[in-house]
Amino acid sequence: MSEGHELETIEIQLLLEGIFRYYGFDFRNYALASIKRRIWNTIRSERLTTVSGLQEKVLHNRAYLDRFLLGLSVNVTTMFRDPTFYISFRNKVVPLLRTYPFIRIWHAGCSTGEEVYSMAILLQEEGLYDRCRIYATDMNEAVLKKAKAGIFPLKQMQEYTQLYHQAGGKKAFSEYYTAAYENAIFRSYIKENIVFAHHNLATDTSFNEFNVILCRNVLIYFNSYLQDRVHKLFYESLGMFGVLGLGHQESLNFTIYEKHYETIESSDKLYRRVK
C-alpha cells in the first residue's frame, strides 16, 4: 500500500468514526471502495480537496452532514427494477401469501420508493393489498420524504410502463397515477397501506415480525461484517416460512443463515425461512 493511499484510508476511517461518535450514523463497515468513491464525489461537490477537510466541515456544520448523507445513500432505483423478480414473486410467492389472513412486508433500504410502489401495485393486482401492510424504511430522511410523497417525473413513466408490462403487469400502468405539471402522482389507494419510517440497518434492531422482507441491491455496499449483522437482523425479523428477497448480486451462500432457508427461485434470489 502506497503512503498516499494509506493516509487516505486513515482519513476515511477517522471521518466515519467521527460521524458515528458525534451523530450516530454508522458507515464504518461499508465496503471501502464504494464509500471512498462517494466520499470523493462529496468532496468535489463541496469544492474541498481532502477527506480531512470534509471531516472538519461535517463535524462543525450540520448542513454539510445532510448533504454528505444524501451523497452517501445509494439511490439508484426504478419501478419494477429487474422485471423477472416480480414475475417470480407473482408466480411463486403470491400463492404462499394467499394463505395468510394478514401480511406484513418490510422493504429495507427503500430509497425514493419506486420499488415499494411497484410491490404495492403487484399486490393490488393479485387481490392481496387490502390485507397487507408494507413497512418501507431507509436511513436517509430526505429520500424517505420523497418516497412518501409518491411523486415522480412524468418523463420516466414511459420506461416504467415498459418495465411494468415486462414484470407481468395486468392493466394500463397509467391507471395508477395522475399526470400533473410534468409529474406523475401515484393514487392514494396505492399509498394507503405503506408506512415509511427511518431505520438504519447498520445500527438499528428488529421492530416487528414479517412475512416478507425485501432488501434488494443494498447488501452489496456493505463489508462482510455488516452483511452478517444484517442477515442476523433479517433472520430474527422473519417469521417461520417467511420469504426473503435479495438483489441479483446478493446471496445467502456462505452465510451462517444459509441452512435456515430453502431456495424458492435461485435466479431472482427469493428464499423461504424453514427453520
Q: How many residues does the chain have?
A: 275
Residue-by-residue DSSP string for 229-261: HHHHHHHHHEEEEEEEEE-TT---TTSTTGGGE
Cβ atoms within 10 Å, residue 83: 18
> Element (H or E) spanning 133, and its range?
strand 132-138
Grid coordinates belonging to 42: 462529496
Give all domains of the chain, ordered by start, each with its CATH number.
3-72 (no CATH), 83-149+189-273 (3.40.50.150)
pLDDT digits (tens, 9 = 90+) for 118-174: 999 999 999 999 999 999 999 988 889 999 999 999 999 999 999 999 999 999 999
pLDDT digits (tens, 9 = 90+) for 158-217: 999 999 999 999 999 999 999 999 999 999 999 999 999 999 999 999 999 999 999 999
Rounded distance, CA 205 to CA 210, Å? 14
pLDDT digits (tens, 9 = 90+) for 26-58: 999 999 998 999 999 999 999 999 999 999 999
Backbone phi and psi for residue 48, each to the nearest 5 degrees, phi listed first: -105, 180
